[in-house]
């Protein structure tokens, strides 16, 4: 689709921002209802053990306490949380019950739901619930999980739900005939997204209509509607999920958690609205964690440094249960570990492990951040062995434009292939913006007591497949209302959807009313916002609806004008007859019902690019400063440069925080010791000021009519590998090998000390 006017591609300020800046956003925390109960969750303080007793007698005697719900109230068939993505039959035995019954498997697992007249009364009641748990050994590390002396699910006989494999070509033959091979082990630590707004829900049961309304939906409201309905024995038509404003998503918000059942269940059972808000400690303790993975990776090359084989054996720590998206990072590692490189022979085996930690899920670039770190570290090591410049090593191994579409490894029976791209061009542009010849001359040099290093890395970002739905309605004043099944999680959805609608209908932005999104009462069906799919899928569905609406306007106008439909021209919100008569769109509104549009695709889009970093490392403290950071990405088609720039910079900062600062740490007993912002360190606005982003639209995607590619996650994917290689470059004289994240000051300092001790 070509832009009819100048909306697509224009740097339009976000329409939703004025609402937020004026304090007019409406979050779950802003909602209240008459006769509303407040809910709090009693969470296990024991990582692993058998529940002997939960006695709420003293709590129920407290003034204002209405009820306490435990697993016994739901037994024996306590509902479980199913996987939303990448399910396998063997995963069902590792699903999480919505409330602990008979056994707990991580600190933070729900034991009881307290309902009271005020939140303070409910919080006070927590201390009055008597809990007895026979503690079992906490099993936290890879080797212990594989050994199997301690089992989280005794009936399963294993701590490994499955091994997922990605296969392309004949990797054994490639290694057998290779001129060069190398094997290394890498590790990515446990961390996750920390949205500004924690999770929250307000559930209301209407006994007259037998409808359950749940406020606080995000990301995948239609999926969660189906889950709530099934667990409560309702039809999907009896459940309405309402999406309020959301203070950040990043993959963790909006998935189905225990509270997504418990709060609606309580509202229906006790006949009063129930509100629950997660505090920050709960957010860090109970909302999905991510990333924790280890990889033993091998590379095989010909004499000319062409990569002919890559094989990897990884373990992914999914935490105590597999819920909603718990298997997706492992699946992605299995498939995307070769990244944008032309490697004919690949085998990537990824073993999932359950441990006594908070369950894991997807976080911006799931599995891709980890696999890029594994691969890009290995590429730098191989380049050094060949005494070849790291840029040249990558350049000669990148997938070429003539190779498109390039097949990724097949996982099970599922294959994927890149859609379009010129990977070398984005690498060259990144080097140009970074001033590589001059900056790379600083590699390993000590200036004012600090050692400087540089690195570059390439990536691909797979996104946007499946289906999506929208609805548009022509109003009597000629404006158009747009309703989309996609969710707004901070990505500027309301603005970009309005831009697409305006261009598709030939209307100014002022004629597109504020876009409504996410709630299940707006469109017949929806999939939501994840995997960078809102523009690709939702935007393409909008084009379908716009085409239908224009056809309806032309039909209605032709009847008025007495001419053929195809003779009517639609110009600037008006229908023009062959003889010059004009009627505004609003004249036809009464006769045109709302129009539904949809778009489906089994093919993913693949944006791509290159990042480069210049760091300075203080050997006395281990502190790593980002001197400059450059990112270049090709997203096929840019809808709004402003929102795209914000997405990329924000993703890079999240990646830098995860690479250098953030980490969930557990003690030997399974207690998380990073349960507040005093211990879980987040980047601030002044930590990484020198970030430059260049967005291109070189190769539109052939998989959708917009030609767009998902771009919400590309900024974070290569950060770990690029920074680790830059630190290795800076500390090359020490022989430091940063093969494990995070690169916190203490860890970098310890690596320097260890290198000096063994020198």
CA distance 279 to 201: 13
Q: In what order do the strands lie in the sheet with 37-43?
A: 65-70, 110-116, 37-43, 274-277, 200-206, 211-215, 239-242
Name the token pair of 29: 């925390």
Residues with Cβ within 8 Å of residue 632, at least 6 apart in sequence: 426, 427, 429, 430, 433, 609, 610, 611, 693, 694, 695, 696
Tokens 């760091």: give the residue: 615
Residues with Cβ within 8 Å of residue 324, at least 6 apart in sequence: 81, 82, 83, 84, 85, 255, 256, 288, 361
pLDDT of residue 4: 43
For residue 1, pLDDT beyond 50:
no
CA distance 361 to 329: 7
Mean pLDDT on 530-559: 97
Mean pLDDT on 124-150: 97
Burial annotation 489-527 (CB, 10 A radius, 16+ → b, else e) = bbbbbbbbbbbbbbbbbbbebebbeebbbbbbebbeebb
pLDDT single digits (tens) 68-85: 999 999 999 999 999 999
> Mean pLDDT score of the chain, rounded to an integer?
96
| C-beta neighbour count of 282 within 10 angstroms | 19
For residue 13, pLDDT beyond 70:
yes
- Under a CB-based contact definition with an 8 Å cutoff, are residues 160 and 322 in contact? no
Rounded to a whole number of angstroms, the CA Rg of the chain reads: 27
H or E element at residue 180: strand 180-188
Residues with Cβ within 8 Å of residue 307, at least 6 apart in sequence: 299, 300, 301, 341, 342, 343, 382, 397
**pTM for this predicted structure:** 0.96
DSSP-based three-state secondary structure for 97: strand
For residue 3, pLDDT beyond 60:
no
Helix spans in 205-277 (H) = 221-232, 258-270
% of the chain residues with pLDDT over 90: 97
Mean pLDDT on 480-488: 96
Name the token pair of 358: 């908070």
Break the chain into its structural domains and give their ranges.
17-26+466-601, 31-136+198-246+253-286, 293-464+603-758
- Under a CB-based contact definition with an 8 Å cutoff, are residues 236 and 178 in contact? no
Listed residue (700, 722, 726) closest to 711, CA to CA: 700
Burial annotation 462-488 (CB, 10 A radius, 16+ → b, else e) = bbbbbbbbbbbbbeeebbbbbbbbbbb
CA distances from 390 to 298, 344, 397, 725 (A): 18, 20, 11, 10
CA distances from 433 to 86, 299, 429, 631, 714 (A): 39, 30, 6, 9, 18
Domains 17-26+466-601 and 293-464+603-758 equal at CATH topology level: yes
Mean pLDDT on 13-28: 94
Name the token pair of 74: 């739901």
Mean pLDDT on 89-94: 97
Listed residue (164, 458, 170) closest to 334, CA to CA: 164
Ranges of beta strands (E only) in 387-426 are 410-411
φ and ψ at residue 196, rounded to 5 degrees: -60, -40
Among 18-22, 42-46, 692-696, the minimum mean pLDDT is found in: 18-22
Higher pLDDT, 5 or 649: 649
pLDDT single digits (tens) 323-370: 999 999 999 999 999 999 999 999 999 999 999 999 999 999 999 999
For residue 759, pLDDT beyond 70:
no
pLDDT single digits (tens) 369-422: 999 999 999 999 999 999 999 999 999 999 999 999 999 999 998 889 999 999
Mean pLDDT on 49-59: 98
Residues with Cβ within 8 Å of residue 385, at least 6 apart in sequence: 180, 182
For residue 172, pLDDT beyond 50:
yes
Pairing of strands 307-319, 346-354: parallel
Tokens 């791209």: give the residue: 421
Three-state SS annotation for 226-243: HHHHHHHCCCHHHEEEEC
CA distance 504 to 553: 14
pLDDT of residue 6: 86
Burial-class residue 547 by CB neighbours within 10 Å (0-12, 13-18, 19+): middle
CATH topology for the 17-26+466-601 domain: Aldehyde Oxidoreductase; domain 4 (3.30.365)
**Ramachandran area for residue 195 (φ above 0: left; ψ -120 to 50: alpha; else beta):** beta
Distance of alpha carbon 220 from the chain centroid: 12
pLDDT of residue 465: 85
CA distance 742 to 723: 10
pLDDT of residue 5: 53
The CATH number of domain 293-464+603-758, selected from 3.90.1280.20, 3.30.365.10, 3.40.50.2300, 2.40.110.10: 3.30.365.10
Mean pLDDT on 266-274: 98
- State the pLDDT confidence band at 16, using cuts at 50, 70 and 90: very high
CATH topology for the 31-136+198-246+253-286 domain: Aldehyde Oxidoreductase; domain 3 (3.90.1170)
């Amino acid at each position: 689709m070509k832009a009819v006017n100048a909306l697509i591609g224009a740097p339009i300020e976000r329409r939703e921002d004025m609402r937020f800046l004026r304090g007019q956003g409406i979050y779950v925390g802003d909602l209240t209802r008459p006769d509303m109960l407040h809910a709090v969750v009693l969470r296990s303080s024991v990582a692993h053990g058998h529940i002997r007793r939960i006695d709420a007698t003293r709590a129920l005697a407290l003034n204002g306490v209405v009820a306490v719900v435990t697993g016994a109230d739901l037994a024996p068939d306590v509902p479980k949380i199913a996987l939303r993505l990448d399910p396998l039959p063997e995963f069902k035995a590792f699903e999480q019950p919505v409330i602990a019954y008979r056994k707990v498997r991580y600190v933070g697992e729900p034991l009881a739901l307290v309902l009271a007249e005020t939140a303070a009364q409910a919080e006070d009641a927590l201390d009055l619930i008597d809990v007895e748990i026979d503690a079992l050994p906490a099993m936290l590390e890879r080797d212990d999980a594989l050994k199997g002396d301690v089992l989280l699910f005794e009936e399963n006989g294993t701590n490994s739900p499955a091994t997922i494999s990605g296969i392309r070509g004949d990797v054994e033959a490639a290694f057998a005939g290779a001129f060069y091979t190398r094997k290394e082990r890498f590790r990515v630590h446990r961390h996750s997204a920390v949205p500004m707004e924690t999770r929250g829900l307000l559930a209301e049961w209407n006994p007259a209509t037998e409808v359950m309304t749940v406020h606080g939906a995000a990301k995948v409201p239609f999926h969660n509607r189906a889950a709530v309905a099934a667990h409560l024995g309702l039809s999907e038509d009896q459940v309405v999920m309402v999406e309020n404003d959301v203070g950040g998503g990043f993959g963790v918000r909006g998935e189905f958690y225990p509270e997504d059942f418990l709060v609606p269940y309580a509202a229906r059972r006790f006949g009063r609205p129930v509100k629950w808000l997660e505090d920050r400690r709960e957010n860090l303790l109970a909302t999905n964690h991510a990333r924790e993975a280890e990889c033993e990776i091998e590379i095989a090359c010909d004499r000319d440094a062409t990569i002919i084989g890559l094989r990897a054996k990884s373990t992914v720590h999914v935490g105590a249960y597999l819920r909603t998206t718990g298997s997706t990072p492992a699946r992605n590692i299995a498939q995307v570990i070769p990244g944008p490189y032309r490697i004919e022979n690949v085998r990537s085996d990824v073993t999932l492990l359950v441990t006594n930690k908070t369950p894991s899920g997807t976080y911006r670039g799931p599995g891709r951040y980890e696999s890029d770190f594994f691969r890009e570290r290995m590429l730098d090591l191989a380049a050094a062995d060949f005494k070849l410049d790291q840029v040249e090593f990558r350049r000669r191994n990148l997938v070429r434009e003539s190779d498109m579409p390039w097949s990724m490894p097949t996982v099970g029976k599922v294959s994927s292939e890149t859609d379009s791209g010129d990977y070398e061009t984005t690498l060259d542009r990144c080097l140009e913006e970074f001033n590589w010849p001059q900056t790379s001359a600083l590699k390993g040099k000590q200036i004012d007591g600090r050692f400087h290093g540089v690195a570059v890395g390439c990536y691909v970002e797979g996104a946007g497949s499946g289906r999506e739905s929208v609805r548009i309605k022509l109003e009597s004043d000629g404006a158009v209302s747009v309703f989309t099944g996609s969710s707004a999680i901070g990505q500027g959805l309301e603005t970009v959807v309005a831009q697409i609608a305006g261009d598709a209908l030939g209307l100014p932005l002022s004629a597109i009313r504020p876009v409504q999104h996410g709630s299940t009462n707006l469109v017949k069906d929806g999939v939501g916002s994840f995997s960078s799919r809102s523009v690709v899928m939702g935007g393409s569905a909008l084009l379908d609806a716009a085409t239908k609406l224009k056809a309806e306007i032309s039909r209605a106008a032709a009847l008025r004008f007495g001419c053929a439909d195809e003779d009517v021209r639609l110009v600037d919100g008006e229908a023009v007859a062959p003889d010059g008569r004009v009627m505004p769109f609003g004249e036809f509104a009464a006769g045109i019902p709302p129009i539904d549009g949809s778009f489906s695709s089994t093919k993913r889009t693949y944006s791509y690019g290159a990042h480069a970093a210049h760091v300075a490392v203080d050997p006395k403290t281990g502190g790593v400063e980002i001197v400059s950071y450059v990112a270049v990405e090709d997203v096929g088609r840019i809808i709004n440069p402003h929102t795209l720039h914000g997405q990329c910079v924000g993703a890079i900062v999240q990646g830098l925080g995860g690479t250098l600062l953030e980490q969930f740490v557990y003690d030997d007993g399974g207690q998380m010791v990073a349960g507040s912002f005093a211990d879980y360190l987040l980047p601030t606005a002044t930590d990484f000021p020198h970030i430059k982003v260049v967005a291109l639209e070189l190769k539109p995607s052939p998989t959708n009519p917009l030609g767009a590619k998902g771009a919400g996650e590309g900024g974070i994917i290569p950060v770990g590998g690029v920074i680790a290689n830059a630190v290795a470059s800076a500390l090359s004289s020490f022989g430091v090998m940063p093969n494990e994240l995070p690169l916190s000051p203490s860890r970098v300092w310890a690596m320097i000390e260890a290198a000096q001790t063994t020198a």
